[in-house]
Structure 1
Amino acid sequence: MVEKTGRPGYLQIADDLRAQIRGGSLAPGTPLPSTAQLAEQYDASLSVVKMAVGILRNEGLVIGQQGKGVFVRDTDAAPAGDLASEVTELRSAVRDLSERLARVEEQLATSTTRRSGRSSR
């Protein structure tokens, strides 16, 4: 059940499910209960449960299979990689590299300007 602690309900649910997964009571390959069942179990709305499951999905602890449900992922297996998080990581890396490149180009332009300014004197 979600408690009125000030901590959002979806985080409480995600914490509880995460603990069950890591503790082994929800083993790899085990389907999570349906969204409706989880909502009833935690006395929460469907949207709150969906947000909690979304967090676990983003963490790579569960994986959804269209029309079949959401299953606990085998974390010992080779990571299948969450496409959304991989894209986010790649975007971040490209942004960082772009900023570094801009700094290098600026330094090169500055040093080239200084050199050409000195040689013309």
Structure 2
Amino acid sequence: MVKNTGRPGYLQIADDLRTQIQGGSLAPGTPLPSTAQLADQYDASLSVVKMAVGILRNEGLVIGQQGKGVFVRDTDDAPAGDTAGEVAELRAAVQDLSVRLAKVEEQLSWLRPRHAVPDATAGDLPRQRR
């Protein structure tokens, strides 16, 4: 179940599946439940589940097989190092921060009065004559 914690649902789902994979309850070669089954299990939309599985793919924890499904990757087949996982985590963090920043900017936009002093950094000041 995705919780209303402020952390995006796709990251919560990816975290849970990652924990299951690393803990051994989803062993190498085991198929993940279908996208629809995961959506029901986590009470999330299909797109949120697909994003979560995409993160696990980028981390090299799962691999998709056309027409068959998504399977837990054997650790022997996984790429050396954790660079892919680090990049995926960084991308997810940047996306999360972008969403949060947009919300903050939206909330703060009402604070700027309509007749405010022009913002010099935004190019609102009139040009000086020479």
Provide TM-score, normalisation by structure 1. 0.64
Larger helix fraction of residues: 1
Tell me, yes or no, if structure 1 residue 79 matches structure 2 residue 78: yes
Unaligned runs of 5+ in 2: 88-130
Q: CA deviation at 1:80?
A: 5.4
Q: Report the counterpart of residue 33 of structure 2 in structure 1.
A: 33
Change in CA separation of 1:2 and 1:59 when aligned onto 2, cut-off 3 Å: same
Gaps of 5+ in 1: 89-121
**Cα distance 1:31–1:78, how it changes in 2: closer, same or farther (>3 A)?**
closer
Over the residues paired in the alignment, what is the CA RMSD in angstroms? 1.6
Q: C-alpha offsets along residues 29-87 of structure 1, whole Å, 9 cap, x if unaligned? A: 00000000000000000000000000000000000000000000011x14358xxx6xx
User: What is the rounded CA distance, in whole Å, between the counterparts of 2:78 and 2:46 in structure 1?
Assistant: 29
Q: Tell whether the 8 Å contact from 2:62 to 2:73 is kept in structure 1 after alignment.
A: yes
**How far apart, CA to CA, are the structure 1 residues paired with 2:8 and 2:74?**
27
CA distance in 1, matches of 2:41, 2:77: 32
Kindly report structure 1 stretches of 4+ aligned residues shifted beyond 3 Å. 78-81
Letter matched to residue 78 of structure 2: P
Q: Deviations over 1:6-34 (max 9, x none)?
A: 00000000000000000000000000000
Paired residue secondary structure (2:53): helix
* AA partner of residue 65 (structure 1): Q
Q: Is the 8 A contact 2:61 2:78 kept in 1?
A: no
Deviations 1:80-102 (A, max 9, x none): 58xxx6xx9xxxxxxxxxxxxxx
Which structure: larger Rg? 1
